[in-house]
Chain A
Amino acid sequence: MSDHHAPQSLLSRVFSTDHKVIARQYLYLGLVGLLVAGLFALMIRWQLAYPGDAFPILGNLFWGETNGVMPPEFYNMLFTMHGAMMVFFAITPIVIGAFGNFAIPLQLGADDMAFPVVNMLSFWVMFLGAVIMTISFFVPGGAAGGGWTAYPPLSGVANYGVGHGASLWLLGIAFAGTSSLLGAVNYVVTTLNMRCAGMTLMRMPLAVWGLFCTSVLNLLWVPVVAAALFMMFMDRTAGTAFFLAGPGSLFAEGGALAGQSGGQPLLFQHLFWGFGHPEVYILIFPVWGLVGDLLSTFSRKPAFGYKATVLSMITILFLSQIVWGHHMFTSGMSPLLGTAFTFLTITISVPTAIFFLNWLCTIWRGSLRFTPPMLFALGVVFVFGIGGLTGLFLALQALDIWLHDTYFVVGHFHFTLAASVFFGTFAGVYYWFPKMFGKRMNQSLGKWHFYLSFVSLTFVFFMMMYIGATGAHPRRIADPTVYNFLGPFQDANVLIGWGAQFLGVVQLIFVWNFFTSIRSGEPASDNPWEASSLEWVAPTPPPHGNFPVAPTVHRGPHEYNAPETGERGWLTQAEPSA
């Protein structure tokens, strides 16, 4: 399937079909996306902390006519692009693109992905999408400003104040979606067909299970959102009216949108959240899987209830597709549907509880090694605990009608998605870095990075939930001082603002550690973590084709301290028992 010639020219190195090179390309793209979208978040929080004040640096450069105060259209662009770039150009390329590409073939004992050229294409299609997103800032009217959810009619036609950047935005997301589809086909086929001898499905590391379930959901739901975005693109550019409804002067005879009516704005929300809710699990499954593996490896114990964990993940895979309506309780959808969606949504807590139970029982009676990947994995259990439990609030129809569109929602999904995936990202990077680059990262800096990130991130998102639930602080407003009822909460906004800046500064520890380790980190051995999955059997860094001799698997992925492992306490999956 893959050719085994070592890449030679610069061109063949850039357009490499080697899954490890593509994984690194995805990692770099994702980290840059994380940096840019993270800076947007810091700007958002600064604006909310000091609305009406001149914005530092940017104010002097761009907004002379408003005395340096950030104009609301720019604020709308900021949170729109923050959300979209985090989801599609930071989280997706890192936890799916980079981790999937690196881990799946190596952990399955394969020489590469099933379709290496498709794999290369999937990266470059996403790269193009990122380029288009970047360009969208520089077209007349600026980038998209209709929220990452891009509800029509606001995002559906240019006349409502969201400029041509939104058309480019739709294209950019479509490219990211295409990339996800190409990747998903590869992941599914590789997982099903390329496993080495002895690697049964139930001997796969949980990370591969997570990526596999993610890919199945991607295959099912990316086409749906792609269709919705294409329909909206047609509304914007070709005069269709899939999501546009009158009345209004724009639609009257002689109006700019005359004849462009009769569609249904709610339809978009159904299509978007039909994809959007599975998307949450698309992004979190790889992290859940990885966390299961890491807790096991660094507790020197098998993952507790491996089969139950896999079964829970598959259950959630199914349930996640029939709960999208809990995003739409106030949308005008029938209240009767709302009751059904409430019930379906809260049942997800059952398989999720099994996940937590198994994680906690994995570290129970273990022998815990607090390496940076382990700390970040434990951090995921903490933040996803908060995120999952607050999800219950928002699943409840009557309560959600109160909390919807407030900062409680923002805090909740940042715990669920942002914090969990953020920690999952670093857990994976610290864990696989030695295999990826052949060097060790500085462990003490890694721990400091964790502790400081953990404190500031928990504070920031917890405060968001607090001002949302207590003060009904609406999201997506550029200036909270407009409302009297938010007066008592402005101090909280200032605290969140400084907490966020601190969180941003703390990430410099990681940036420093990452680059100095690549340049001059101490050389890594083949298996620095004494882990048993197959990537640690391959040479460091793995050559093109990965394994000099195709491995044969003799046991499950985490048989630490099994009787057969003897005094050493561990054997890789490829070592026959003594």
Chain B
Amino acid sequence: MERLITINDAVTEIDWIFDYATILTSCIFAVVLAMLIGFAIKYRERPGHKAHYTRGDSPAAVRMSIVVAMLVFFGVDISLAYFDHHAFLELYGNPPSQDEATVVDVFAKQFEWNFAQAGSDGEMGTEDDIFSINKLTVPAGKPVLVRMRSLDVLHSFFIPYTRGKQDVLPGMTTAFWFDPDKTTAAARAELDDPNFEYEIACAELCGLGHTTMRGIMTVLTPEEFAVWEAEESANAANFDMPEIWWDWSLDPADYAEEDE
């Protein structure tokens, strides 16, 4: 079965690390398994065969243990952590500023994703803001910055094609960002599946309707998006947002400073 497609090339690094870890651990497991099966066959109890008495606390045994410990620590642990940290900094170490990104505000509640976007005037909290439930539309070619807050329980914003997810909590703001390089149309062409959609899942148990808390993300070309945005802004329903929705206590840019 093929792996899910990615929304851009950068996140394939996660797939690469997964494969690297799989190969590394498979090699280790193959050695363990070979010893397990080999010894089980070779040293099974049989007439005339006696176990070799050793407590395994000789200097040679201690040296062997230290060598194995070093191999595991430097060969496995450090190499995995190095590549992983590299990927982490690449994907999550440098959040886009609000000026350069498509900003999307997410208000999660049982059991729907509420999305708010600035609309044509580029400002949140004005009359032409675009609201939608479970349907997110973003342009390709520039980063998407998602600012999230929950109105009730924990949720988790999960777009499998970004290889990432972020929990959504009441009482604090969390952020998530990604580069949607591949439009929905391009993904459909790649998969040869005219019905393909980018799906958004809730990954944290949120109650009875958790299973059905599903959203669709449509990635348009910048030109298509401009048309879509103008249309939606012009028809924006005057949605009465509770004031508290806009009280973003934590700017996602704070993450950048913390991570330096």
Interface residues of B in 86-100 (CB under 8 A from A): 87-88, 91-93
B126 is an interface residue with CB less than 8 A from chain A: no
Complex Cα–Cα for A497 and B210 (A): 22
A343 to B64 Cα, complex, angstroms: 24
Interface residues of A in 326-375 (CB under 8 A from B): 330-332, 334-336, 338-339, 342-343, 346-347, 349-350, 353-354, 356-358, 360-370
Given the complex of chains A and B, what is the CA–CA distance between A561 and B153 in angstroms? 61
Beta-carbon contact of B171 and A331 below 8 Å: no
A side interface size, CB within 8 A: 105
Instruction: Give A386 to B170 CA distance when docked, in angstroms.
Output: 37
Which residue of A301, A353, A396, A563 is within 8 Å of B52 (Cβ)?
A: A301
Knowing A300-B51, A357-B65, A484-B199, the reply to whether A370 touches B44 (Cβ < 8 A) is yes
B107 to nearest A CB, angstroms?
10
Q: When the two chains form their complex, are residues A366 and B205 in contact, meaning their CB atoms are under 8 A apart?
A: no
Contacts of A162 in B (CB 8 A): 207
Considering the chains assembled together, what is the distance between the CA atoms of A401 and B244 in angstroms?
29
Contacts of B55 in A (CB 8 A): 302, 304-306, 556
Q: Give the interface SS of chain B, mostly helix, strand, loop or mixed.
A: mixed
Stretch at the interface among A16-24, A467-475, A513-521, A538-546: A467-475
A449-B29 Cα distance, complex, nearest whole Å: 25
Given A154-B205, A385-B32, decide whether A160 and B110 contact each other with a Cβ distance below 8 A: yes
Contacts of B255 in A (CB 8 A): 335
A181 within 8 A of B: no
How many chain-B residues does the 8 Å CB contact rule pick out?
Answer: 93
Question: A470 to chain B: which residues have CB within 8 Å?
Answer: 1-4
Instruction: Tell me if B189 counts as interface (CB < 8 A to partner A).
Output: no
Contact B84 A350 (CB under 8 A): no
B196 CB, nearest partner CB in chain A, Å: 8
Q: Is A138 an interface residue (CB 8 A)?
A: no
A346 to B202, CA, bound (A): 28
Tell me how far the C-beta of A304 lies from the nearest C-beta in chain B, rounded to whole angstroms: 3
Residues of B117-175 contacting chain A, CB below 8 A: 150-154, 156, 158, 160, 163-167, 169-172, 174
Q: Which residues of the other chain, A, contact B210 by a CB distance below 8 angstroms?
A: 72, 76, 476-478
Per the bound structure, the CA–CA distance linking A400 and B253 in Å amounts to 23
Whole-angstrom distance from the CB of B45 to the nearest CB of chain A?
Answer: 5
Give chain B residues whose Cβ lies under 8 Å from the Cβ of A343. Answer: 81
CA distance A25 to B51 in the complex (A): 38
A249 vs B1: C-alpha distance when bound (angstroms): 44
Partner of B36, one of A73, A154, A308, A378: A378
What residues on B are CB-neighbors of A192 within 8 Å? none
- What are the residues of chain B within 8 A of A354 when measuring CB–CB? 65, 68-69
Docked Cα-Cα span, A246 to B62, in Å, equals 57
CB of B67, distance to nearest CB on chain A (Å): 10
Stretch at the interface among B14-22, B218-226, B229-237: B14-22
Closest B residue to A333 by CB, please name it.
B167
Q: Please name all residues of chain B whose beta carbon is closer than 8 Å to the beta carbon of A370 when the two chains form the complex.
A: 40, 44
Q: Is the CB of B21 within 8 A of A161?
A: no
Q: Would you give the 0/1 interface string for A282-314, flagging 1 where the beta carbon is closer than 8 Å to chain B?
A: 000000000000000001111111111000000
Chain B residues positioned under 8 Å from A561 (CB to CB): 50-53
B-side contacts of A73, CB under 8 Å? 208
Taking the complex as formed, is A512 at the interface, i.e. its CB lies under 8 A from any CB of chain B?
A: no
Contact digits for B46-85, partner A, Cβ 8 Å, 1 yes 0 no:
1001111111110001101100110011001100110011
A265 and B169 contacting across the interface, CB-CB below 8 Å: yes
Closest residue of A by beta carbon distance from B245: A247
Q: Which residues from chain A contact B52 at a C-beta distance below 8 Å?
A: 301, 365-366, 561
Does B39 contact A363, Cβ atoms closer than 8 Å? Answer: yes
Question: Distance (Å) between the CB of A74 and the closest chain B CB?
Answer: 10
Is A332 a contact partner of B92 (Cβ separation < 8 A)? Answer: no
Whether A405 touches B169, Cβ cut-off 8 Å, given contacts A73-B208, A366-B43, A369-B45, is: no
- Point out the residue from A264, A330, A479 that lies within 8 Å of B211, measured CB to CB: A479
Contact string against A for B residues 1-27, beta-carbon threshold 8 Å, 1 for contact and 0 otherwise: 111100000000010011001000100
Q: How far is the CA of A241 from the CA of B123 in the complex (A)?
A: 35
- The reply to whether A330 and B68 form a contact with Cβ atoms under 8 Å apart is no
189-214 of chain B: CB within 8 A of chain A: 195-197, 199, 201-212, 214
CB contact under 8 A between A146 and B205, given known A302-B53, A307-B57, A397-B85: yes
Binds B, one of A86-94, A113-121, A387-395: A387-395
Question: Once the chains bind, are B211 and A265 in contact (CB under 8 Å)?
Answer: no
A residues touching B (Cβ–Cβ < 8 Å)? 72-73, 76, 145-147, 151, 153-154, 160-162, 244-250, 261, 263-266, 299-308, 330-332, 334-336, 338-339, 342-343, 346-347, 349-350, 353-354, 356-358, 360-370, 378, 381-382, 385-386, 389-390, 392-393, 396-399, 401-406, 469-472, 474, 476-479, 482-485, 488-489, 492, 556, 560-563, 569
Top 9 nearest A-B pairs (CB, nearest first) are A245-B171, A304-B56, A396-B84, A365-B52, A398-B88, A389-B25, A472-B160, A405-B203, A305-B56
**8 other contacts beyond A353-B69, A368-B39, A398-B14, with CB at 8 A cut-off?**
A247-B244, A300-B45, A342-B85, A347-B77, A349-B77, A350-B72, A484-B199, A563-B53
* 8 A-B interface contacts by CB (under 8 A): A72-B208, A153-B152, A154-B206, A301-B54, A330-B156, A347-B73, A398-B88, A484-B199
